[in-house]
Structure 1
Amino acid sequence: MLRVEGLGVRYGALVALQDVSWQVAAGEVLGIIGPNGAGKSSCYDATTNMVRRSGRVFLAGAEVTEVPPHGLAALGLKRAFQQNAFFAELSVLENMVAVLSREGGTGLLASLLLPWQEAARRRALEEEARALLRRFHVPQVLHRLRPGSLPYGTQRMLSIALAWGSGARVLLLDEPAAGLGGEDMLRLRDLIGALRAEGAALVVIEHHMDLIMSVADRIAVLDQGRLLATGTPREIQADSRVLEAYLGRAA
């Protein structure tokens, strides 16, 4: 579903990413791990055309190397960032409605000339938004609050829901478990499994080894901007290069 070939990123004299290639299929979770500064987030920036880079990107077999970030999102390649991202002055429900409206909204002229249709569409969007929020573990009792009032774990889920919107072919998650623990971690694990079961391709950057080893089908390891190893979680855990570069340091 998503394939990147020879990605490279430079920030002046600093080489952040060099000749990195990987792919992920529909219904598969690819984990990306590596020490701090290994190039993991730069890999996402390069994939989604948010930085100047070399290499090529293919989505469902079609080359999308030159497609801008918003164009990639329209094609179904979506990304959630390390930091929670939402409209702080809108309610949780209004945030979700805004995303759905952006993806499938009507034009201004139609809204002005057919206000009754616009009102019906708004009600339908709100119902769809409520259902999506519940699916992403944001209880309805919280929908009228502003995002900043939510517990941190729920804010993380809201950010993922907003990135997902009306659906994604590929979803890139950047450290979704950061700051989570206990029940929040279990909910995230179950959500990743549910999205995979529906056929989405997921790429997950993560430092929580227990989580990534339990949800990933394959793992790519980056170190100093290069692809160090790829394999199943069991293969990665037994790879001496990985143990030296990352897992061993963490221990």
Structure 2
Amino acid sequence: MSGPAPALRVEGLGVRYGALVALEGVSWEVAPGEILGIIGPNGAGKSSCYDATTNMAPRSGRVWISGEEVTAVPPHGLAERGLKRAFQQNAFFAALTVRDNMVAVLAREAGTGLLQSLALPWREASRRHALEAEAAAILERFAVPREMHGLRPGNIPYGSQRMLSIALAFGRGARVLMLDEPAAGLGGADMARLIALLRSLRGEGIALVVIEHHMDLIMSVADRIVVLEQGRCIANGTPQQIQADPRVLEAYLGQAA
């Protein structure tokens, strides 16, 4: 008797830009409550893998979410099915407060337009209040403290901006959350908050796919790691197996030593 389907599975992903092969024959899967790390040198194909998985780039191969094939589903349809992604660059509405950024995401997920969500008529004031309360709770869950909620994102610390971007991507929830270098520019207490968040989300049964250059982070939180080089997967295993793999040491870890 087979076990439950992976939260996300990709098979034979390929991306070509003219004669350039950015990704070829890449396959992996991640289970609910698991953190999968994707690492590799610059130009290894990590971003192409990210874009191919979420149908943000023309590609070959197949993709499944919880056993349902979603190869032909557009990016917004993938989000509706629980596959969410956060980008390398912080993504938010700079002119809105932190709270209103979150309210806008929640309203959009509920089928309400952005303008309506930010200017609900007086007869819907209670709905607006409920959205604000929900937004505040999510922001605090993602380590964005309440005293920052009334500020614009550009006026809060960089580490909190990174957490805000992850919160906005996550919204009301996800089966799978893909993060592209979430630790970029972080250190100290900010890094500790990110690690705690990733472990908390994993503990809630969410599957996480984390592209990361920060080796200490990925080795400490990932359950399994996929290593890419020149668009191909050269290793797939636990952090301990990856650290001992001579192909990885030659292609990536050895270069960083």
- Same structural fold, with TM-score higher than 0.5 when normalized by the shorter chain: yes
For 1:134, what is the secondary structure of its paired residue? helix
Distance in structure 1 (CA, Å) of the matches to 2:218 and 2:136: 29
Aligned to 2:250: 244
Indicate the residue corresponding to 1:23 in structure 2: 29
- Aligned partners of 2:23, 2:124: CA distance in 1, in Å? 47
Deviations 1:124-173 (A, max 9, x none): 01000001111111111111111011111110000000000000000000
**Which residue number corresponds to residue 183 of structure 1?**
189
* Structure 2 stretches lacking a partner, 5+ long: 1-6
Give the TM-score normalised by structure 1: 0.96
Shift of 1:121: 1.2
Between the two proteins, what is the percent identity of the paired residues?
77
Structure 1: 5+ residue runs without aligned partners?
Answer: none
CA deviation digits over 1:21-68, x for unaligned, max 9? 000000000000000000001101000101100000000000000100
Q: Which of 192, 200, 203 is matched with 2:198 structurally? A: 192
| Counterpart in the other structure of 1:151 | 157
* Partner Cα distance (1:62, 1:124) in 2: 33
Q: Which whole-Å deviations, capped at 9, do the CAs of 1:81-126 have from their partners, x for residues lacking one? A: 0000000110000000000000014589x99xx9566221111010
Q: Which residue of 1 aligns with 2:176?
A: 170
2:97 is equivalent to residue 91 of structure 1? yes
Task: Work out which of the residue numbers 74, 79, 82 in structure 1 matches 2:85.
Answer: 79
C-alpha separation between the residues in 2 aligned to 1:78 and 1:233?
Answer: 25
Is residue 2:49 matched to residue 1:43?
yes
Equivalences for residues 226-237 of structure 1 within 5 A: 226-237=232-243
User: Which 4+ residue blocks in structure 1 deviate beyond 2 angstroms?
Assistant: 105-108, 114-118
Cross-structure match for 2:214: 208
* Distance in 2 (alpha carbons) for counterparts of 1:183 and 1:125: 29
The 3-state SS of whatever aligns with 1:202 is: strand
- 2:167 maps to 1:161: yes
CA distance in 2, matches of 1:131, 1:29: 24
**Matched position secondary structure for 1:173:** strand
Q: For residues 70-89 of structure 1, give each alpha carbon's deviation from its aligned partner in whole angstroms, at most 9, with x where no partner exists.
A: 11111110000000000011
1:180, CA displacement in angstroms? 0.3
Among 223, 241, 247, the alignment partner of 1:217 is: 223
Summarize deviations over 1:175-215 as a string: whole Å, max 9, x none: 00000000000000000000000000000001111110110
Q: Secondary structure in 2 aligned to 1:123? A: helix
The residue identity in structure 2 corresponding to 1:22 is W
Supply the distance in 1 between the matched residues of 2:141 and 2:111 (Cα, whole angstroms). 22
Does structure 1 conserve the Cα–Cα contact (< 8 Å) formed by 2:107 and 2:113? no
Alignment of 1:90-169 (within 5 A): 90-106=96-112, 118-169=124-175
SS at match of 1:84: coil
Q: 1:167 to 1:119 in 2, by over 3 A?
A: same
Structure 2 SS opposite 1:153: helix
Q: Aligned letter for 2:82?
A: G
Partners of 1:137 and 1:85 in 2: CA distance: 17
Give the secondary structure class of the aligned counterpart of 1:204. strand
Query: What letter corresponds to residue 20 of structure 1 in structure 2?
Result: V
The aligned counterpart of 2:69 is: 63
Q: How many residues align?
A: 248
